[in-house]
Structure 1
Amino acid sequence: MNLLQPSSGTISGGVYLDADPDRVSWGLLPNALAKPVLTVASGTVVCVDTISHEGILEDQGRDPAEFFAAAGITEILSDTAAVAATVAHDPLRQGPHVITGPIAVSGARPGDVLEVEVLELRRRTDYGVISNRHGKGALAGEYPQPPAGYDPALPVPPACTVATVEKNRGVIGLGDGRAIRFPLELFLGIMGVAAGTEQQVHSVPPGPHGGNLDIRMLGVGARLFLPVQVPGALFYTGDPHFAMGDGEVALTAFEAPLRATLRLTVHNDARMRSLASTLATPFAETAADHLVIGLDPDLDIAVQQATRNALAFLSERYAVPAPLALAYLSAAADFRISQVVDQVKGVHCCLRKSDLEGL
């Protein structure tokens, strides 16, 4: 078993932030009243440990050692065990996610843009969990299926599938000697800045602050741009994934802990501030694509917002007239469902950079 325990193994970057209980929050995201656990200068490369909420939740027994032992796994991360044992969490009022941070970035002001460049992601375990719960997921009420003989008057327990990693592929055993194997695609489901409110911020729905975007394209090499809402930005991350399909239809994907190396850079030039103000949502890029995002509880409206944001992006960045931009989007752009399970549904429009060369 390969475990990347706190402070062990390779730690890249100039600053390391572990996921000990006093450096994490469970179920709530930072708001305007939050205090940073670390302050860095713009451009700093930080190494951040994240832990997964799966295996520590109340409906899983809140004892990761016992939960994973039932699947034949006897070694767990010490910070995961510490968080489960000591950090307060109210599942009726708070989300499931554990986030590390927040990190203040010196000089960041509301209206600026915080760029998060994903430099490296390392697996901290060789196992993780895929979960489904009633009331959640694309087939809420149909799945999970109750076990044989289960009392129909009781809530159906969550279906938790422990998946493993073999030769850098995910493995889901089918229980009869066969298994499904699939590529790993590491990414952080949650990256965000503090929301500009003094109200509590639930960890599940994404928003202008970023948060639980669940965009699987935000792996190594991606850059996420977050509109700053409070002084210092107060960046945080969590909800690590080993793999996810677009849509995340069961409720969770392959949830498992990561060590992330990230560069945090503040942009305060007029061009970036104007673009962030126009879009009013995070935006991102990979080596091949610009990603423009739509967020709404109604998937149709999320698609409309992603379309309007793509038109605005093409106008501001490339001076493409709106009618021609819309024609281009219909002819060549992909609108992908990020996820349908986080209360606020996500759509990301992929604009190929190669199509826009020379504009």
Structure 2
Amino acid sequence: MPAFEALQPGVGPIPGEHYLAAEPSALFWGRLPCAADSPVLTVDSGATVTIDTISHEGVLEDQGRDPIGYFAGHGVPREHVLDDAVALAASSHPRVLGVDGPHVVTGPIAVRGAQPGDLLTIEVLELAPRVPYGVISNRHGRGALPSEYPADGITVSVFSPIETGPDGQLLDAGGVLHGTVPFGGDSERRARFSLAPFLGLMGVAVAGAERPHSVPPGPFGGNIDIKLLVPGTVLHLPVQVSDALFYAGDPHFAQGDGEVALTAVEASLRATLRLTVTPAAEALEHFGTVTGPLVETPEFLVPTGLSEDLDEAVQHAVRAAIELIHARWGMDRPNALAYLSAATDFDISQVVDVVKGVHAKIRKADFDD
């Protein structure tokens, strides 16, 4: 097996009908697109798009805003540092430190014909690692334990390489790549865990002329950090503006539900997605009224709840799940609540993005069969 080659801009497999590179002119940094922003790409409904995404880790100011130097300190050769990350760090991209968020967002992409009331349906077809490493950080006093970690108030960034063989090839154990986290101190031991890449941030533009902060998610999607969104799954988002104006970013190699340190294994991905407009009438028939992100996997329908208060996020997720079951299968709402209590897991998506997230995994076979 050959040694890993980084997916530099325009290099390597590009399976989509369209390709969007992560050039500075096609990026937002710390903010999300709004209705006043112009698309960098326009596609028809049903088109496939390959999108390069950049992780903010290694690019941020508290890591020197110098990806080459930062990753060299972890033994990463120059050819494994992404040229588009280097270009972004060296650019005068308009990001206000301490005011804007950290996330690098590629887009927006206009999808012809999308209108408010419709859903934008995003099928995740392929997610390819662009580099053989990621970073997990605890910073800003905004993890799950903000008064305790980081202990000295200084950013802690843990380098997490993908397991590789003696010739530099990625080790693929039974179809699964593995990441590692060192024990720390004088120990040479590492914890080993399986990787499941996904995009933490996918969204549609909001109405108006004000760009939202990149951290808190909302009805438009954004930084929802739902680790279920691996290849073979779908995200439905309620369209807010004409042509939807879709964007993606915050790529991960892995995440535990909760994302308690603040970030998970943040690492750049090349994503191939299919963008389809689901008309309002069809969306209503299949899902009822969708007011926020809705995930669909081969096994589950996954409505979400969002709030700065975790208890309220759970309540929103329960209400969304009741309405989905009632609309899709015709079950009475009290019976839907009983079913949810008996058979549905309500998982914490994340607790670190100001607006906390909860998602409910409703097993489709319990109704369809």
Match 2:158 to one of 153, 156, 161: 161
Match 1:114 to one of 101, 111, 120: 120
> What's the counterpart of residue 111 of structure 2?
105
The answer to whether the 8 Å contact 2:347/2:358 transfers is: yes
Tell me, in whole angstroms, the C-alpha distance in 2 between the residues paired with 1:40 and 1:33: 18
Match 2:293 to one of 270, 282, 297: 282
> What's the counterpart of residue 214 of structure 2?
203
> What's the counterpart of residue 150 of structure 1?
none
Q: Deviations over 1:290-321 (max 9, x none)?
A: 00100000000000000000000001111010
Partner secondary structure for residue 36 of structure 1:
coil
Match 2:310 to one of 299, 310, 330: 299
1:79 aligns with 2:84: yes
Partner secondary structure for residue 272 of structure 1:
helix
Superposition deviation, residue 127 in structure 1: 0.7
- Structure 1 letter corresponding to 2:320: N
The answer to whether the 8 Å contact 1:113/1:225 transfers is: yes
> What's the counterpart of residue 152 of structure 1?
none
Give runs of aligned pairs for residues 146-225 of structure 1, distance below 5 A.
Answer: 146=152, 156-166=153-163, 167=171, 168-175=177-184, 176-225=187-236
Match 1:56 to one of 56, 59, 78: 59
Q: 1:354–1:40: structure 2 CA closer, same or farther, 3 Å change rule? A: same
The answer to whether the 8 Å contact 2:34/2:206 transfers is: yes
Superposition deviation, residue 91 in structure 1: 2.3
Once superposed, which parts of structure 1, at least 4 consecutive aligned residues long, lie more than 6 Å away?
A: 274-277
- Structure 2 letter corresponding to 1:116: I
Tell me, in whole angstroms, the C-alpha distance in 2 between the residues paired with 1:277 and 1:36: 29
The answer to whether the 8 Å contact 1:112/1:273 transfers is: no
Tell me, in whole angstroms, the C-alpha distance in 1 between the residues paired with 2:345 and 2:179: 26
Give runs of aligned pairs for residues 1-359 of structure 1, distance below 5 A.
Answer: 1-75=4-78, 76-86=81-91, 87-146=93-152, 156-166=153-163, 167=171, 168-175=177-184, 176-273=187-284, 278-358=289-369
**In the comparison of the two structures, how many residue pairs are matched?**
349
Any unmatched runs of 5+ in structure 2? 164-170, 172-176
The answer to whether the 8 Å contact 2:201/2:248 transfers is: yes
Superposition deviation, residue 134 in structure 1: 4.1
Moved more, 263-272 or 228-237: 263-272
Superposition deviation, residue 88 in structure 1: 2.6
Superposition deviation, residue 268 in structure 1: 1.0
Q: 1:125–1:259: structure 2 CA closer, same or farther, 3 Å change rule? A: same
Tell me, in whole angstroms, the C-alpha distance in 2 between the residues paired with 1:157 and 1:317: 49
Q: Deviations over 1:6-51 (max 9, x none)?
A: 1111110110110011111101100110110000000000000000
Partner secondary structure for residue 250 of structure 1:
coil
Tell me, in whole angstroms, the C-alpha distance in 2 between the residues paired with 1:134 and 1:113: 35
- Structure 2 letter corresponding to 1:342: D
Superposition deviation, residue 273 in structure 1: 4.5
Superposition deviation, residue 66 in structure 1: 1.2
Tell me, in whole angstroms, the C-alpha distance in 1 between the residues paired with 2:288 and 2:119: 10
- Structure 1 letter corresponding to 2:88: V
Q: Deviations over 1:231-253 (max 9, x none)?
A: 11000000000000000000000
- Structure 2 letter corresponding to 1:202: H
Tell me, in whole angstroms, the C-alpha distance in 2 between the residues paired with 1:252 and 1:245: 10
Moved more, 326-335 or 81-90: 81-90
Tell me, in whole angstroms, the C-alpha distance in 1 between the residues paired with 2:294 and 2:322: 13
Q: In percent, how many aligned pairs have the same letter? A: 54
- Structure 2 letter corresponding to 1:257: S
Tell me, in whole angstroms, the C-alpha distance in 2 between the residues paired with 1:169 and 1:6: 25
Tell me, in whole angstroms, the C-alpha distance in 2 between the residues paired with 1:66 and 1:21: 20
- Structure 1 letter corresponding to 2:83: S
Any unmatched runs of 5+ in structure 1? 147-155
Partner secondary structure for residue 160 of structure 1:
strand
Superposition deviation, residue 2 in structure 1: 3.0
Moved more, 327-336 or 89-98: 89-98
Tell me, in whole angstroms, the C-alpha distance in 2 between the residues paired with 1:209 and 1:59: 29
